[in-house]
Structure 1
Amino acid sequence: MELGIGMFGDLAVDQNTGKYKDAGVKIREILGQVKLMDEVGIDVFAMGEHHRQDYAVSSPEMVLAGAASITKNIKLASGVTVLSSSEPVKVYEDFATLDLISDGRAEIFVGRGSFTESFPLYGYSLNDYEQLFDEKLDLLLKINSEENVSWTGKLRAPMKNQTVYPRAKNDGKLPIWRAVGGTPQSVLSAAKLGMPLIVAIIGGMPVQFKSLVDFYKQEYLAAGHAESDMQIAIHSHTFVSEDQKVIDGYFENYKSQMDRIGATRGWAPYTRMQYDGGRSKEGALFIGNTNEVADKIQQVKEIFGLTRFIGHMDVGAPENDVMMKSIELFGEKIAPLVR
């Protein structure tokens, strides 16, 4: 099983000024963190896309390209590319270029995204939310498999025997994963298309998602895809420290981000009981010491038959030194235990 780390580039609020901290500093810290991931043997890094004041990264491709130049082995993925509000030709071109820079290490996680700011920003209507994604995924997959593309949709101009360059290293093909939040229709679509599946599990209990993953497996095989090609991942909030005071203190970081998002979604304030419940053996938070986190990863590996686990590690913008230690423990302690 591959082990990865994901980030959104959360920005903390400066308590002295009341403003969000500098995005440039944050991005440079992320690059240093990815370099460390590569050094300690992490398999995958996934960079999210957001178009908000409280996140530093709106263009994962740019950050990943920066990371490609200072790493050697780690796979570099978007986590996720909000495909509904992106141009599939440009998505392919950007990631094919990243693939060439990194010598074949680029991947794309495509999804609808849990935020909608990019739709009005790029001139799209939320009324077309579902159709935009379905059409653009169809086009992206076609570009990924064919050098000369002819395609017709309803919401984008058609392509008529047009070429898309440069081509990715592996005969022009990039690994494209379908990222889902738990919608059966999305899982069914991924299964029928034979796409690798990554499920975001950030609340409740992971075992509650077992029927969804079993549904994917059933429909994947029913569609005629080879079981040996099946890839399944989960993406969950993760943080590691051997210091219990750090784990207890991380509640404040976590709560600040949950409450910031929750204020726009009608959520009640995040509580210590939720945090402790999520950290329990059955909960969805992979937050604790190395043995606790390794045991939980092993548990979900067995529940789902995972081929990959992505630990989302920067929720609430922990300080850089604390993040670096968490990454080090994940690579040097947890990975060997799980493997």
Structure 2
Amino acid sequence: MQFGIFTVGDVTVDPTTGRAPSEHERIKAMLAIALKAEEVGLDVFATGEHHNPPFVPSSPTTMLGYIAARTENLILSTSTTLITTNDPVKIAEDFAMLQHIADGRVDVMMGRGNTGPVYPWFGKDIRDGIDLAVENYALLRRLWDEDVVTWKGKFRTPLQSFTSTPRPLDGVAPFVWHGSIRSPEIAEQAAYYGDGFFHNNIFWPTSHTKQMVNLYRQRYAHYGHGTPEQAIVGLGGQVFMRKNSQDAVREFRPYFDNAPVYGHGPSLEEFTSQTPLTVGSPQEVIERTLSFREYVGDYQRQLFLMDHAGLPLKTVLEQLDLLGEEVVPVLRKEFANLKPANVPDAPTHAARVAAKSAATPSAESSAKSAAPEGSSK
């Protein structure tokens, strides 16, 4: 089980001070948060991709390349790479390059994005969103899996005997998660390729999350990748903690009430009862997170959103200390004890390279199997 954090990179006014950080301050804060994630022993740092205010992470690979140089163990990921509006050739090149820089500590989460104006900014039509996601990802897979690609599609110019460079590290492309909140077509796409499915388990009730994950699991098995229980699932989550739950609620309430995403809507109490948002003590976060398994089954990755809604950097770093010291060690132990033997571990580059080597006969064994009966060296 991998544990980590993801950021959407919003620049939001702190409702307790009336001040918003500058873009520079917010970017530097995201870098500090990533380094803190490694310090406290988390497994993953993921950043979103946005091209509209009030968000700043428009170039995820630039940010992740910097973090790669400053860390040793952290898996670097996106929490959205816009497969609809990015050129698949550029995605293939950028993430293969990042693989080499980070010695394989890289994966990527594909998503369509939920901001309509982004599409025309990049010469696309939002009405083609699903078709773009399907065609672009099919091309991306070929660019990573094949050394020379000749291709023709609907949404970009053809390719003739094209080689994407650099090639993926060790001949193994970054592991891909397909992230979706509401689109069954994306769950289907993840299942078809045998990739991971990440449900951003923040805004929706349990029944919706269960339905989406179960669809992915059943279709994963349908396409012959394994049993439903062996499908690779990740979940988002959202927490705010203090040692005392009443202190957590009191401190977080003004941020919740004024947050651009969910402020001025349901109350904090209503939202925490209807969604996975957990505001309380570390023990309450542990219990709530363990309960996710009851409706999605055993899963491989849990990411938490902790730096949104104008929370100051000092507060976020305190949250990460609590997460790394009091929450994740317990969750690691409990999830490991509950996981059946037939459920795979979370994917890593090293494990996937080893699996590829095991599945590819060596030249010597191939020669032996091809030699005529009775022959000898």
The one-letter code sitting in structure 2 at the alignment partner of 1:221 is A
Q: How far 1:333 moved relative to its partner? A: 1.1
Q: Quick check: 1:183 aligned with 2:175?
A: no
Match of 2:137 in 1: 137
Structure 2 gap ranges (5+): 333-377
CA contact 1:3–1:42 (8 Å) conserved in 2: yes
More displaced stretch, 218-227 vs 238-247: 238-247
Q: Quick check: 1:327 aligned with 2:310?
A: no
CA contact 2:248–2:279 (8 Å) conserved in 1: no
CA–CA distance in structure 1, aligned partners of residues 30 and 125 of structure 2:
32
CA shift digits 1:282-319 (9 cap, x unpaired): 63213322111111111113421211111112220210
Q: How far 1:279 moved relative to its partner? A: 2.6
Structure 1 gap ranges (5+): 263-267
Q: Secondary structure at the match of 1:170?
A: helix
Q: 276, 279, 302: which is aligned to 1:284? A: 276
The one-letter code sitting in structure 2 at the alignment partner of 1:285 is L
Match of 2:234 in 1: 233
Alignment of 1:1-339 (within 5 A): 1-13=1-13, 20-227=20-227, 230-243=231-244, 244-257=246-259, 260-261=260-261, 269-272=264-267, 275-280=268-273, 283-304=275-296, 305-339=298-332
Q: How many residues align?
A: 329
CA shift digits 1:238-271 (9 cap, x unpaired): 33322433432222223322xx347xxxxx9324
Q: Rate the CA distance shift 1:294–1:168 in 2: closer, same or farther, 3 A.
A: same
RMSD of aligned C-alpha atoms? 2.2
The one-letter code sitting in structure 2 at the alignment partner of 1:192 is Y
CA shift digits 1:182-222 (9 cap, x unpaired): 32222122212211000112224324421321221111111
- TM-score after normalising by structure 2: 0.81
CA–CA distance in structure 2, aligned partners of residues 333 and 16 of structure 1:
27
Q: How far 1:49 moved relative to its partner? A: 0.9
Name which one, 1 or 2, has greater alpha-carbon Rg: 2
The one-letter code sitting in structure 1 at the alignment partner of 2:256 is Y
CA contact 2:202–2:237 (8 Å) conserved in 1: yes
CA–CA distance in structure 2, aligned partners of residues 172 and 160 of structure 1:
23
CA–CA distance in structure 2, aligned partners of residues 125 and 210 of structure 1:
31
Q: Structure 1 residue runs of 4+, over 6 Å off?
A: 14-19
CA–CA distance in structure 2, aligned partners of residues 314 and 276 of structure 1:
20
| Identity score, percent | 28
Q: Rate the CA distance shift 1:123–1:17 in 2: closer, same or farther, 3 A.
A: farther
More displaced stretch, 68-77 vs 207-216: 207-216
- TM-score after normalising by structure 1: 0.90
CA–CA distance in structure 1, aligned partners of residues 213 and 126 of structure 2:
28
